[in-house]
Amino acid sequence: MRKELLIALRVTAVTLVLTGLVYPLITTGLAQVLFPYRANGSFLKNASGEVVGSELLGQGFSAPGYFHSRPSAAGKDGWDPTSSGGTNLGATSKKLRDSAVDALQKLQAENPRASGPPPVELVTSSGSGLDPHLSPAAALWQVPRVAQARHVAEDRVRALVESQIERRDLFVLGEPRVNVLVLNVALDRQFGALERGPSATRSQ
């Protein structure tokens, strides 16, 4: 009995050391060597070297000179990384329809020069409320407003959006997309920084 107990304790100790210390240290070390940017949170910096957020988490933008993310239901004011979630409202929900109508009216008022109706994602929140991406169509739809606010030609802003389109992973997985924060950082680098206006949360 004593012999079996000692064997069990030794196995437990070895397992704890291997899985609780050695393996995490090795994987963390490899991650820091092979892809430190990703391993440390994918934080983006502006032209001044300040961290403005993580490209993995969506955040709110309200200034007309920036591309806006899709609506967020994460937390009380949206874009709260500690309260990820959607509205949990069904397709027949009156509250969901009313919020979409309000969002649509606001979008049309803010983007009077936009061509055609806004893509549906700009009036509905994602399941996580923290989706950092928009479809290329949703980003391009906002080009007239951003160009007017920054007093630059629409073609130049449109070209910047197109240069920031992320293609399908491995050419087959997912859909083409644009990371809103990455796009806005690139916008500042090319045309100069503006006051962003209030946002619900900003990862800094």
Is residue 133 assigned to a domain? yes
Q: How crowded is residue 103: how many other Cβ atoms within 10 Å of its Cβ?
A: 17
Q: For residues 92 and 181, give the distance between their C-alpha atoms in angstroms, rounded to a whole number.
A: 32
Residue 6 shares a structural domain with residue 101: no
Is residue 89 assigned to a domain? yes
Residue 100 shares a structural domain with residue 30: no
What are the pLDDT digits (tens) for 143-173?
999 999 999 999 999 999 999 999 998 888 9
What percent of the chain is modeled with pLDDT above 90?
Answer: 63
**At which residue do the structure tokens 């963390």 appear?**
28
Residue 93 shares a structural domain with residue 184: yes
Is residue 204 assigned to a domain? no
Q: For residues 162 and 166, give the distance between their C-alpha atoms in angstroms, rounded to a whole number.
A: 9
Residue 10 shares a structural domain with residue 76: no
Residue 36 shares a structural domain with residue 50: no
Under a CB-based contact definition with an 8 Å cutoff, are residues 41 and 53 in contact? no
What are the pLDDT digits (tens) for 24-66?
999 999 899 888 888 888 999 888 889 999 999 999 999 999 9
Residue 85 shares a structural domain with residue 46: yes
What are the pLDDT digits (tens) for 86-116?
888 888 899 989 988 999 999 999 999 998 9
The predicted structure's pLDDT at residue 162: 97
Question: 142 pLDDT exceeds 70?
Answer: yes
Residue 74 shares a structural domain with residue 61: yes
Question: 203 pLDDT exceeds 50?
Answer: no
Residue 35 shares a structural domain with residue 120: no
Q: How crowded is residue 186: how many other Cβ atoms within 10 Å of its Cβ?
A: 16
Is residue 202 assigned to a domain? no
Structural domain total, the chain: 2
Question: 202 pLDDT exceeds 50?
Answer: no
Residue 62 shares a structural domain with residue 147: yes
Residue 150 shares a structural domain with residue 175: yes
Is residue 201 assigned to a domain? no
Question: 200 pLDDT exceeds 80?
Answer: no
Is residue 12 assigned to a domain? yes
Is residue 162 assigned to a domain? yes
Classify the phi-psi angles of 34: left when phi > 0, otherwise alpha if psi is within -120 to 50, otherwise beta. alpha
pTM score: 0.82
Residue 87 shares a structural domain with residue 3: no
Specify the DSSP element, H or E, that contains 157.
Answer: helix 154-163
Residue 82 shares a structural domain with residue 35: no
Under a CB-based contact definition with an 8 Å cutoff, are residues 165 and 23 in contact? no
Q: Degrees (nearest 5) of the Cα angle 194, 191, 155? A: 120
Is residue 15 assigned to a domain? yes
- Residue 32 lies in domain: 1-40
